[in-house]
Amino acid sequence: MNSTTSPAHVLGQLNPDEVAHIVQASADISLTLNREGVIQSIAFGNPDLRSPSLESWVGKNWLDVVTSESRPKIQALLQDANETSLSRFRQINVPSPGSADLPLLCATLKVGSTGQIIALARDLREISLLQQRLVDAQQAIERDYTRLRQLETRYRVLFEMASEAVIVLDANTFKVIEANPRAADLLGDSVKKLSGRLLMDYLTKGDRIQVQSLLSKVAYTSTVAELNTSILSGQEVYLSAAPFRNENQSLILVTLKRSGELVDRHDSNAQSLVIQALEKAPDGFIVTNSAGKILTANQAFLRLIMSDKLEQILNEPLDRWLERSSVDLRVMLSNLHEKGSIKLFATSIRDSFGTLHPVEISAVSVPYPHACLGFTIREVGSRIRSKIQPEESITRSSEELTQLVGRLPLKEIINETTDLIEQLCIKAALDLTRGNRVSASEMLGLSRQSLYIKLRKYDLSDQSKDSDIEE
């Protein structure tokens, strides 16, 4: 007798309950369907999948419980089972309320003479999770690769565009690995020819031992070192060396500066000291663009206008805090444009609470490298007002007016008083605007023609000049 027994012969000797147990154990979910695909029963080989939503499938068509993109696969599974009694495995997705779709790997087979179909489904959530993790890992690797590529690009641009001569050396042999165009120009060779050459080959013979000793110290002690040396062209250079590592390779970063460039660096340090001094100065200092919008200001100016932070006033027009607003600013900008500087311009600064502070403003125009205006603002108290309106002249004028009582009618005395006040105001406006009649007329609220008429009336200007202006 043949010792090999076919599975059909073995399964044929089992009763229906035993066959049902085998089917249930072979899959996470087992479905019994009729020929049209209507679910007649459901069994769970994996109890974790049991849920009311899946148990409610009984009596429904299998096509109605899967996602729309899975329906063609269900039709193919049913067709294969009806035609060949056994289908191949296909992945379908089942909608799951409140969570991601449930992925299942399904196959169907037809049993019995009634055309019943059994669908066997395996839970693919773990595999799907692993696949998602793999995709996430691949995306993370791609992001890291992109970031490294961008970093390398930025490094390459900085390396190539650096204003200093930069060379990367092998810490063991002191051979050039990389050099930027500035280094090639300084050493009198091309970037390509520099690669692989010893740095000492480009130095004068008397300095080579000293430079080699310095590079050895940098390589073995991991310290930064500097010295003055000479290159073959005879130029004096300042050499700075610093160690670093790239992966498992020890390298040395060398920068070379001509002696003249060191002077530029000292000038830059001096400018930095000036900036620090202005920042801590007791007088207010601001820098504006050519239109008078604030670019920066020191702490003294912030205290003067009662502002907490510099960011609150950046790009704001200076005339926001001037007593006469745009008139003062227009006068200062006009003088700066014509003369390049102004000195001791008298006005008042209005702080954030509306309080006026008498000040004197000196300013300068800086056309290079970026057109800007610098303003020094000094708080002077009542001194400016005493200059603008001397008490002596007011008192003397008042005495002269009181002597008119009894000699002239009150109406004529009032007219005399009005003329005196008008004359004093016009003089003050001309003083404040440095004789700029256009600005003075705006300050007084008069038309230019009216101002010129009053100037003639009080003999305050050259009439021929006024006539030319009016024309």
pLDDT above 90 for 176 = yes
Let me know: does 241 contact 252? Beta carbons within 8 Å: yes
In CATH, what is the architecture of 18-123? 2-Layer Sandwich (3.30)
Q: CA of 409: how far to CAs of 109, 268, 290, 372, 420, in Å?
A: 128, 73, 55, 58, 17
Q: Is the entire prediction scored with pTM above 0.85?
A: no
User: Predicted confidence band at 168 (pLDDT cuts at 50, 70, 90)?
Assistant: very high
pLDDT band at 470; cut points 50, 70, 90: very low
CATH number attached to the domain at 389-470: 1.10.10.60
Phi-psi sector, 48: left (phi>0), alpha (psi -120 to 50), beta:
alpha
Give domain 162-264's CATH number out of 3.40.50.1100, 3.30.450.20, 3.60.40.10, 3.90.550.10: 3.30.450.20
Instruction: Please say whether the structural domain 280-386 has been given the CATH code 3.30.1330.10.
Output: no
User: Per-residue confidence at 383, pLDDT binned at 50, 70, 90?
Assistant: low
Q: Point out which residues pair with 257 in neighbouring strands.
A: 238
Q: Given a cut of 80, is residue 131 above it in pLDDT? A: yes
pLDDT of 346: 83
pLDDT band at 125 (very low <50, low <70, confident <90, very high): confident
Tell me whether domains 162-264 and 280-386 share a fold.
yes
User: For the residues 196-221, what does the mean pLDDT come to?
Assistant: 90
- pLDDT tops 70 at residue 86: yes
pLDDT digits (tens, 9 = 90+) for 229-279: 888 888 888 899 999 888 788 899 999 988 655 545 555 566 667 777 778
109-113, 139-143, 287-291, range with the lowest pLDDT: 109-113
Q: Which ranges in 167-257 belong to alpha helices (H)?
A: 181-187, 191-194, 205-221
Residues 427-450, mean pLDDT to the nearest whole number: 78
Average model confidence (pLDDT) across the chain = 80
